Structure 1
Amino acid sequence: MVRDGVWRKSSRSGGEGNCVEVAGFVDAVGVRDSKDRQGPELIFTPSVWAAFVGATRAGQLNNQP
């Protein structure tokens, strides 16, 4: 992840308006709703974000039995 604090839209965001933006900072990763840029942001440590991304890529967060 680039650590420059620039918000970027997820490459997985579709055209339905369900989009998130992510920004990498020196000591945090921010996530926000691209439709509500002035709204709340979720902030994660880089290690927690890496674990989340890894679990997502491995399919460990799917809600299917």
Structure 2
Amino acid sequence: MERIVFEVYEDANGDSPFYEWAEALPKKDRAKLFVVIDRVQQFGLPEAARQQWVKHLDGPI
């Protein structure tokens, strides 16, 4: 299984739009988000899809 590693964009000042967005989420939602990210990194996308931690998005992103 190929391991997935999430990388977060940071600008030249070290600011991250992702972390800024995540910090604006309610605490419970933010915790769930980071649990899912951790699980996907640990178990991979196929298992994450089987467990329904993630879902396929239809159409262009």
Give the structure-2-normalised TM-score. Answer: 0.33
Bigger proportion of residues as strand: 1
* Bigger relative CO (Cα 8 Å, ≥ 6 apart): 2
**Which of structures 1 and 2 has the bigger CA Rg?**
2
Bigger proportion of residues as helix: 2
